[in-house]
């Protein structure tokens, strides 16, 4: 889509109140391959044997060989 030359290229993004509060994490685990990256955010509490991932962010980092 072509924009008129006098109109700037803008993107309006909204964020909900729930998302804007965020999620507390004190550990990030990063894994990646040639095609994708994943970051898991974890809240680790002292003295507890098990912790849960609180949030996961996943994205493609490049083109896979099959494309």
Q: What is the pLDDT of residues 35-62, one digit of tens each?
A: 999 999 999 999 999 999 999 999 998 7
Mean pLDDT over each residue of the chain, to the nearest integer? 87
In this structure, is residue 37 part of a structural domain? Answer: yes
d(CA 55, CA 38): 11
Mean pLDDT of 7-12: 83
Structure-token pair, residue 62: 């490049």
In this structure, is residue 55 part of a structural domain? Answer: yes
d(CA 55, CA 26): 12
Sheet strand arrangement including 27-32: 27-32, 36-42, 53-60
Q: How many domains in the chain?
A: 1
pLDDT band at 2 (very low <50, low <70, confident <90, very high): low
In this structure, is residue 45 part of a structural domain? Answer: yes
d(CA 39, CA 11): 26
In this structure, is residue 66 part of a structural domain? Answer: no
Domain that holds residue 28: 23-60
């Amino acid at each position: 889509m072509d924009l008129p030359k006098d109109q700037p290229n803008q993107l309006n993004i909204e964020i909900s109140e729930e998302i804007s509060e965020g999620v507390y994490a004190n550990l990030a685990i990063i894994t990646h391959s040639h095609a994708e990256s994943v970051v898991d955010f974890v809240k680790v509490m002292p003295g507890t044997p098990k912790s849960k991932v609180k949030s996961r962010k996943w994205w493609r980092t490049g083109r896979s060989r099959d494309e």
